Structure 1
Amino acid sequence: MTTGPAPVPGPQPLLQLRGLSHSYGAVQALHGIDLDIAGNEFFALLGPSGCGKSTLLRSIAGFETPAEGEILLDGEPLTRLPAHRRPVNMMFQSYALFPHLSVEKNVAYGLEAEGTAKTEVRQRVGEVLETIGLTKFAKRRPGQLSGGQRQRVALARAIVKRPRLLLLDEPLSALDRKVRAEMQLELKRLQHEAGMTFVVVTHDQEEAMSMADRVAVLNAGRLEQVDTPVTLYAAPRTRFVADFIGTANLLDGTAVAGGISLGSGLVVAVEHQLPAGSPATAVVRPEDVSLAPAGSGTLEGTVVDTFFLGGTSTVSVQVPGLRAPFTANVRAVQVPERGSRVGLVLDAARTVAVADDRDAGAAAAAAGATQGDARGAAQETVSS
């Protein structure tokens, strides 16, 4: 796991989190989070339910007060500053639009509440509605809009105040798959045009990997890894990240010279620096595997299933000694028949070795589930 502030591009990070910890009763939701986020960066907080990502976002926004640590924006402390005094805006998952107000009135609400001059309000609202393509819907009310259009109105209301930092809590979860894919591109375009720093919380890895410049993967309140999407996929640092990001064959064994021993004489060649004799996992992506005639591969097994995906197919191979079938992505014309014996050729240069942290992962998952229960109880207490 990361042990210090994650490096960011550029000389000065916009947002700095130092030793951030928070608890719900006896359950600790955040464990000493250190994180730097750059100006004009699209940053994603990614992880399963109960991992602490929403707690972290709400702490930045000012809706939660961390028990320990500091939050700095451009070097200025925010930790004890109330939410309404922070130069930060937040777009909620529910959008929270006023149903009785028109689109333009919803967007203008924050500016009018601050006493902004009417001429400036009209100008800024007009500009942002044009940017998001909703100028012709300015007089409509939210109930007359589609889900995607309501999402754009909520985004417009958030960016019209020109915050230095925009926080988005599961912004696309209420949209269907097609609209969600369109809005992923739209969010990235708007972030670039607005020149703002976006921090988005999501449990959808595809969403995070397609939009963000960098992604922080959280697990039970701890940072597992902070990296670009490409690095997270190609070079995961922990077993959790390897399993959570994309699809991977995880081969658990023991680190030996030049590889990982799976037992029964099977050794997977890996370029790694793990201590010999330590529990280790080889991470092999399905697209980094090629099929070969039986007896000529790194591993050998029996084809138990195939899944046609268009130009490619996924082949599932049961290898003796492995608990789960091994998967390989191959060209559709190369799909072997079920029941046939095949060899699996693994590329050592593309096979990643990580420490086998399954025991720690199980404890973290249990803590995460308890954390979710504790947070729910706390929110229920507040709402009642």
Structure 2
Amino acid sequence: MTKVAPVGIRFHHGSLSVPAGVVHTTPLGYDRDSVPIGAPLTLSASTELVHRLSGCGKVVVAFEGKLGDTLLALSGVRAVLDWLRLRSVRVAVRAVGPYAGLIARTGLLTRPHAITPSGRLAVIGDRIGVDARGSTAAVSLVLDPATPPCWSTDGRAHPDLPARHYLALERRLGIRLPATTPFAPTLATGPNNLVEELRSIGWLGGLTIAAITATSWPERKDYTAQRYTALAEYIAEAHQSQARLLLIGGNPGDGLRITAEAPRRYVQVLHLDGMPADHLSDLFPHCHLIVGNDTGLTHLAAMARDGRDGVGPPVIGLYARHSHSKWRTGLPHHHAVATTLSDRMHQGDLCPVRDAITPDTDVHMDAFPPTALAQIGLELLDGVSP
């Protein structure tokens, strides 16, 4: 559900369905629920794209830019591969670049040497990755987060980027593809030596909260270690138990750095700076609650799923300026707490950067009082919808 918090911020549950009439959308052009999987759409396919993809035997997934943009665009890769499977086109799929290991966790890639590469090459990725590897490709698909609009069909809006990318390619490829909401692939996790070491020394025992301080825009998006610690203290005091707070920071320039603070009454704090994304993917499912700004590691936390039961902890994203609906995975456990400005960006499908919108007030992370976030976290931990 969506709920106005006492301090004026708004909570948006990850499973909330957005009616098409309350946000600005672009009609998809067909009633998706009424079209059988594999059936042609009423829209004409992109003839050239279909022709070129049909002759491809190799697909290279190439992302070099931001982690968050990459993770939210993987549904576009999924759409192309779903189309190739429906057309019985056999391809070898591999990933290159800094995120190849993470992309391998989605199950989208073929096993090495499982298919003998033949036919032409298709490259799918962001602009940097495609430019670096697409000169010999028969098809180059750039998945730009600014390009796909907020689609609407069957009376509902599809505002999250994974849905935008998937449906945009479905329209271009001209047949009803199999995926339904949520469109984002998830990341499989498994045993990890660093995670097991943290467990062995007691950092994953009891109530464990992960908070993401890493951001490329700290003056605007850093909620700060102090506020996260206060949030964890409120939650732990309410539970009358001690909590472990894992503060996930960026790369300090000298690799992985782990430091512990002196124990507090209700919270023990551990700083994890520069922890590689694949290790974090294995760590996040062992937490009970994750809070972060709208950055790549928060999206990573939502997409990381425990290999044993396929579930993950609730994730709360903090949205002060950008649309809380566009910059989420669309997964039902990925929630948002948003300011009024973020709500307006969501309603109008706007971007303060792309559309050069100057806020009426200087909105920062201090819009989210730790007490209000702690109450939302408590209700999610207790299985109550805030």
TM-score, length of structure 2 as denominator length: 0.26
**Higher relative CO (CA 8 A, sep ≥ 6), structure 1 or 2?**
2
Bigger Rg, which one:
1
TM-score under structure 1 length normalisation = 0.26
